[in-house]
Structure 1
């Protein structure tokens, strides 16, 4: 395990949490859950029939010591969950609807988090990202001031020196294809909160574009400017500036040349917000391929409770790192 992931695991151990794992029929999920217990990070809550989970674990040589279970194949369990949902004052789904929808394991995991029976939910080894995001939006919901979910990656870029050394937060690189001003503002707010809680940084958020402070005009730049205005209105505590070209955002000399007036972000940004998913996807791959960066995540963000989406090709060590960051956010 590399140094970054080791640090995340150590931080997760400080305040262990209950993690819902809907994909209990996946051997790698069981191995990850075993490591969660072994590292003292929390209690895995496996969604499914305990006998089936333990049979698969025995077949794979996985210890289930420390596991908890929620058997969503049992109708009485689903009805009890639905009744708790109603007792907590949630009225967007009827008791019958909750009981019916929680037959699906990932939906059940989200209901467990919503009802406080788990602190966070980790899925994505078998479910596509779209299904995980849709379920989280439907049953956990978005945080206040956030119009759409998004993702944030942490890039560790050799040779780069910024406020956080070689590290930068990058968003959104995986979820929202063509964000409008409201979406972009929510991505900026979510990203600032994520790096503050996860990394302990003071966020300095740069809204990127092909223009710096009016050096060009285009309707797409207007979207970025409006997003900056909305961030200032919704969260005046967040240091956010734009529109900024990449060099003006992270290179002090370029910022001094291009940005007129005072800016708490220009040349010192530690979080970069891409104007759309094209730019985000290309940008993160450029720093990985040509900058030889390690990119951690992506972290799903914007929900009212923490959710993570595994890459379906992720090895167990990477999954454990994802769960560690999930637990830190739940703290």
Structure 2
């Protein structure tokens, strides 16, 4: 993608449909006059008076306890430098977004137009009563050190400068595990740190707290090795100046065990790596270009343990592994600060998590068969769902043990459950889905590429590396769309109707005819069929000329599904295909079946639909918990639909005894665990979180998923076709660009999965 395209897309993303990335939403009812009188005057006076009596009541009656300020003066914004507070606002909003999606913490971003240290501190102190915590961001060194030190001393809420401590915590966890793997003691490691800014200073301090020896550390800046005989050193640089007779980074690297890069790209050469000790540990964390390219480094040293700040290589040092969860734990015990004990607790919790068995959901997201602790996995992945309930408890315990927790946790099991419930995994599922597709992209046919929105989706899929698009349709129109939207890339364009495609069209026709000649199909008819793009694309997938296809944007469902039946066919043992929609709800992804195909399935067919749906749920790394829905619960009615549901459940309990499935059950009981356990504690669903809903007929399922989508704004991925031999999926008529991109990712993951089964 060209720089101009990237720039345009970034600007559109931030501007449309609503400017910015975060907003404030009400948490209380406000529909009636009574609601408003409670929300404001006169009802609001009561909590005001309670807070006046005891300031701690602010945590009970306001949002303070879950509200963090992301505060910056814009003097050191990402790699952009001193661009000012207003220009830095998009970054602060982005940080707020990460706080919310990873730890369910609300954020106000505050941009302060002050560079004077005293004035900045006074400003933050003046507004601090609003917040439960302060995240300092993008403030240049050395001022950042003084600002954080004084605010931590003068405020009684958690304060952390993430630029300093985030990278320090994550890289320290990685260093701890890397040293263990190469069987070296932290205190014996010879460490070279390239960079002397806020992050480098804080990282080095934390490594020393972990056990590294001051005399074994050499720090370099843009002028070379920081020696104690160099003049005009800042206090922080002087702290790590060395007496050794070294002048350059190249000299410092000789016989070193560890290289820590927090500087700029391509400053380390292969020759430097070769001078390091056995089993070198190299953390090249400059972004987007590491101090040495990952592939070059591992090619140069086979014994290396390598980490970068990039997501496309193993061992990503990503601050999102730290700050959301550190603040989550600190807020939950109303800690009066974030101290060294809490930071070290985060280090050990992250290091320990990397040694535990990785959930299948994470393996699938990163297209790994079995991620295990070792040279290519020394820290957890950002999409690991365990982070939310493993890291905050460690922080909370450290705060309690160090005596700065005002609200100690009594029931740790309850707290862990609350953390798990804080975040639905719907949006995270989309990110994992896209990353999994990108890990092994497949050739994907877009059957209606001459439609502008389909072309836009294909462009995103290509740019993001989700799939290798094959564009099917009128060549002239496709070329015009390519020019209109600025599509840059070498992609295959196929028009089944033109003479150029006649040889392939005739080859497909003959294959199709031979398979269907005893079903009344003539060769001439088959040749005509192959001019139609759905038949042509289906044969491409069937014959291995493409890996998957998506269609249906501009054609009705029945006309698109017929070619799939007649060409690709069904899996062995499947007599009827079905479809499921994955709904990205606040409680996590919910799978609804059958939403588009089977009008009134019988008990055996419902059982088969459930089996097929459960396989898809597992494909996404989730354990299916299936509720088979009806208008009555567990034998309360003997009418047609509850009876066939009961029969289907009986079949599944015999054929799939390990599957968690029960019914007939009403939807509210299936989704409300408290109601279910109170009224029907015998149910196999009791105590579990339902994620799969099987409906008795097409009417109920189709209506339900479309109502969820339109009334609640729930994003839908689907319909995902179940039961075909090859990956082929049908879009909803008029699907949005985002929906098509998501379905493209589903088709790729389906292709990955089916290729493993062959």
TM-score by length of 2: 0.39
- Aligned residue in 1 for 2:595: 173
Alignment partner of 2:469 out of 28, 44, 59: 44
Q: Shift in Å at residue 98 of structure 1? A: 4.1
The match for 1:116 is 544
Decide whether the 8 Å contact of 1:212 with 1:259 is kept in 2: no
Secondary structure of the corresponding residue to residue 91 of structure 1: helix
Give the whole-Å Cα distance in 2 for the aligned partners of 1:124 and 1:289: 20
Higher relative contact order (CA closer than 8 Å, sequence separation 6+):
1
1:150 aligns with 2:578: yes
The counterpart of 1:128, out of the listed 546, 556, 560, is 556
- What is the aligned partner in structure 1 of residue 277 from structure 2? none
Does the alignment pair 1:281 with 2:702?
A: yes
Alpha-carbon distance, 1:60 to partner: 2.5
The C-alpha deviation readout for 1:226-266, integer Å capped at 9, x for no partner, is 32234345544533222222233233333334436462577
- Tell me if 1:100 matches 2:546: no
The secondary structure found in structure 1 opposite 2:600 is coil
Q: Deviations over 1:139-171 (max 9, x none)?
A: 22223444433322222333xxxxxx4332112
Distance apart, 1:105 and its partner CA: 0.5
Q: Is the 8 A contact 2:429 2:589 kept in 1?
A: no
Deviation at 1:104, TM superposition (A): 0.8
The corresponding residue for 1:194 is 616
CA deviation profile, 1:253-286 (whole Å, cap 9, x unmatched): 3333443646257753210011112221332244
Contact between 1:23 and 1:106, CA under 8 Å: does it hold in 2?
Answer: no
Is 2:673–2:686's contact at 8 Å kept on the other side of the alignment? Answer: no
Of 70, 91, 99, which aligns to 2:515? 91
Structure 2 residue 745 is matched with structure 1 residue 324: yes
Q: Which whole-Å CA distance do the structure 2 matches of 1:59 and 1:154 have between them?
A: 34
Residue by residue over 1:147-198, the C-alpha shift from the partner in whole angstroms, topping out at 9 and shown as x without a partner, is: 433322222333xxxxxx433211222332222223322321221111211x
- Give the distance between the partners of 1:266 and 1:179, measured in 2 at CA: 29
Match of 2:436 in 1: 11
Judge which range, 234-243 or 16-25, deviates more: 234-243
Distance 1:134 1:99 in 2: 17
Matched, 1:182 2:604: yes
1:109 Cα deviation from its structure 2 partner: 0.9
Instruction: Report the counterpart of residue 247 of structure 1 in structure 2.
Output: 668
Task: Tell me the distance in 2 between the aligned counterparts of 1:186 and 1:271.
Answer: 14
Change (3 A) 1:114 1:157: same
SS of the equivalent of 2:718 reads: strand
Higher mean alpha-carbon deviation, 255-264 vs 34-43, is at 255-264
- Residues 456, 485 of structure 2: 8 Å contact kept: no
2:445 is aligned with 1:20: yes
Which piece of structure 1 moves more, 305-314 or 37-46? Answer: 305-314
* SS of structure 1 residue aligned to 2:471: strand
- Match for 1:57 among 481, 490, 505? 481
Consecutive unaligned residues of structure 2, counting only runs of 5 or more, are 1-12, 14-426, 753-758
Query: Partners of 1:66 and 1:238 in 2: how far apart?
Result: 45
Aligned in 2, Cα 1:105/1:234: closer, same or farther, shift over 3 Å? farther
| Worse-superposed segment, 130-139 or 4-13 | 4-13
Contact preservation (8 Å) 1:57, 1:64: no
Residues 285 and 22 of structure 1, relative CA distance in 2, 3 Å threshold:
closer
Residue 15 of structure 1: how far off its partner (Å) = 1.1
Count of aligned pairs: 320
2:279 aligned residue: none
Mapped partners of 1:202, 1:34: distance in 2: 33
Does the Cα contact within 8 Å between 2:509 and 2:529 map onto a contact in 1? no
**Structure 2 partner of 1:161:** none
Other-structure match for 1:66: 490
Equivalent residues in 2 for 1:182-331, closer than 5 Å = 182-197=604-619, 199-259=620-680, 261=682, 263=684, 267-288=688-709, 291-331=712-752
Q: Deviations over 1:191-243 (max 9, x none)?
A: 1111211x210111111112222122112222212322343455445332222
Mapped partners of 2:709, 2:738: distance in 1 = 19
